[in-house]
Chain A
Amino acid sequence: MGDESYNFVFKVVLIGESGVGKSNLLSRFTKNEFNHDSRTTIGVEFSTRTVQLDNFAIKAQIWDTAGLERYRANTSAYYRGAVGALLVYDITKHLTYESVERWLKELYDHADPHMVVMLVGNKSDLGTLKTVPTEEAKDFTEKNGLLFMETSALDSTNVEAAFQEVLTAIHKKVASREVPRVSITAVTLSSTIGPASDAQKKRSTCCKNL
């Protein structure tokens, strides 16, 4: 990772009930970067992937609760500095959709109000067992100003697109300076491309590249 260059680091969190496939989505998106050898520091680079948007290298740092969602104490630490969120539910389990509002509330209680949020209906490969109609979810997202997508981590449908869309939306917000930069603590801005500059280290205590 040492020789990788990037212009921005975006912290994006994955939230939603357990069992909806958050870890699946993440491993789909970042698969190639999982470091098999990092035993003690497992997963340090696991949840990152660098993508190109408009000639900028964006390092997406994606956080997966992976069971942590049950621990209330981790909540604040988890959301701090996040600029985007994928709120995931299971299209075949209506209960996981019903809890979406509670997750949204928690998100806004702890995270930056300007953050980009996408509602993700996962497991679209199980279309026949669908209990959450697309229209219903879509209406909800329109009312609440969220992005929306249905994905399948199993057959990869829309996984790439979902992450891309969220990262693009964040990038747009940052580039248009619609959001004051101070409020997005996780965004690392570097004038000189390269992770090791001192200026960058000072700016970002949160997303230092290892």
Chain B
Amino acid sequence: MFRLHSSLSDSMEQFQDLIRDQGQERLCPLLQTKWINDRHWSQKPSQRIKANSSKKRKVSLLFDHLEPIELAEHLTYLEFKSFCRISFADYQNYIRSCCMKDNPMMERSITLCNGISQWVQLMVLSRPTAQLRAEVFTKFIHVAQSLHLMHNFNTLMAVVGGLCHSSISRLKETSLHVSHEVTKVLNEMTDLLSSCRNYDNYRQAYSRCAGFKIPILGVHLKDLISVNEAMSDYVEDNKVNVQKLQALYNHINELIQLQQITPQLDANKDLVHLLTLSLDLYYTDDEIYELSYTREPKNSKAPPATPSRPPVVVEWASGVAPKPDPKTISKHVQRMVDSVFKNYDHDENGYISQGDFEKIAASFPFSFCVMDKEKEGLISREEITAYFMRASVICSKLGLGFLTVQYFVDRIQWGDCEEQVMCSYLEKKVHCVVSIMQTAS
């Protein structure tokens, strides 16, 4: 289903000719078939909403300095962009194949959602004391309230989902420092987003909203799959089940229509970039649990020993990297090298050029490492792997989380990170490495 059959378009054309012959040309547009394979429903989606890079206004890029409303607005900016990229055809493909293969826009939207959930958890867990964790927790509740007011349900689900994740909800010490007011708000939010009666509360709230809104995509994708599974393709006498097609069309069309209504936002480009970097986290659930157990161990009444000095680097989840074991490092490096080769090995011969390598290496805070070369001007997969392995071990000894490395891999992969942002970020990183080394010596 869904694919345009040539005989259908042929007969439609014949039909149109017939209409023209009858002098009713104005009716012809009603018989269009070209939209069936139209993949350009959301042409230039990124143009729908823009971030400004005003140089007049200085913005703080520190999490602690950002107001919940600012965070909510920038998250909404990212979410809307990603939502607008999903085309009618992407939804069709999703229903048909039930997987993310060849559906990068859908995958990106889901990754963003999961990234936000993880980021929320990591930001809470990054704080050493229960009191501080409760403050971050409270801040995210306020972010959630702002998201709710903006009718951005998808990010709301991601944030609340992160806060409700068992790695956070198990933190008893932290919850003692959370006020009753805040707990009450969280309960209201979980009620709103509850899966009970097939997300009935959410569906009602969602349908009451007029104007801009971002739906919880997962719920609507689930509906699409449910309709597709539950209704048969054909009815009696091998007739196409038009009701089913109509139902699927209505659902997809509703989502597509929402892309037309842009939110009123004042998004700052630098903040958007920084937020994007921060959401590219590479943590497994196990790693997050491990961090959660380190913060508040199982069955322990006494609060865990807290470091005498608060973490110097209060910068976007940079302090939350648990010591990665060699196996994990190796896995991450492998992924990274894959990305590098995907983007830079243009003729696919297993080598990248010296020039490209230097550009890549300069993006990482470990340019002090020396590269061994076997072939003049070309660098092989093995060499680059060995280089990053060595470099990342040194970095982790310096207290520099592997996250940093991963940030830039993702930037290379998406290719949309501005050099300036990278440089200013790196400057800070280098600065913090230096200060760590100074305090250590």
B 219-231 binary contact with A (CB < 8 Å = 1; else 0): 1011101110111
> Which of B194, B207, B225 lies in contact with A66, CB distance below 8 A?
B225
Task: Choose among B169, B218, B251 the residue with the greatest number of A CB atoms under 10 Å from its CB.
Answer: B218
Is there an interface contact between A73 and B222, defined as CB atoms closer than 8 Å? Answer: no
> Which of A18, A43, A64, A71 lies in contact with B99, CB distance below 8 A?
A18
Tell me which residues from 115 to 146 in chain B have a Cβ below 8 Å from any Cβ of chain A: 116-118
A 30-70 binary contact with B (CB < 8 Å = 1; else 0): 01001010011111101100000000000000011111101
Q: How far is the CA of A19 from the CA of B118 in the complex (A)?
A: 25
> Which of B154-162, B293-301, B358-366 lies on the face that meets chain A?
B154-162
Is there an interface contact between A67 and B225, defined as CB atoms closer than 8 Å? Answer: yes
Total interface residues in chain A, CB < 8 Å: 42
B158 → chain A, closest Cβ, in Å?
5
Q: How far is the CA of A204 from the CA of B218 in the complex (A)?
A: 26
Total interface residues in chain B, CB < 8 Å: 47
Q: A98 on the interface (CB 8 Å rule)?
A: no
Within 8 Å CB of A23, what residues of B? 225-226, 229
Q: B193 on the interface (CB 8 Å rule)?
A: yes
Is there an interface contact between B223 and A43, defined as CB atoms closer than 8 Å? Answer: yes
Chain B residue at smallest Cβ distance from A28: B229
Q: A74 on the interface (CB 8 Å rule)?
A: yes
Q: How far is the CA of A210 from the CA of B218 in the complex (A)?
A: 23
Q: A106 on the interface (CB 8 Å rule)?
A: yes
A 1-42 binary contact with B (CB < 8 Å = 1; else 0): 000000000000000001100011011000100101001111
Is there an interface contact between A27 and B285, defined as CB atoms closer than 8 Å? Answer: no
A-B contact pairs, 22 of them (CB 8 A): A19-B98, A23-B226, A27-B229, A34-B230, A41-B198, A43-B223, A43-B230, A63-B195, A66-B229, A68-B222, A70-B110, A70-B114, A70-B218, A72-B113, A73-B116, A73-B161, A77-B194, A80-B195, A81-B196, A106-B285, A110-B166, A207-B197
**Contacts A74-B195, A208-B197 known; 18 new A-B pairs at CB < 8 A:** A19-B98, A23-B225, A23-B226, A31-B230, A34-B231, A36-B231, A42-B223, A43-B198, A44-B200, A46-B198, A46-B226, A70-B218, A71-B114, A72-B117, A73-B114, A75-B165, A76-B161, A77-B194
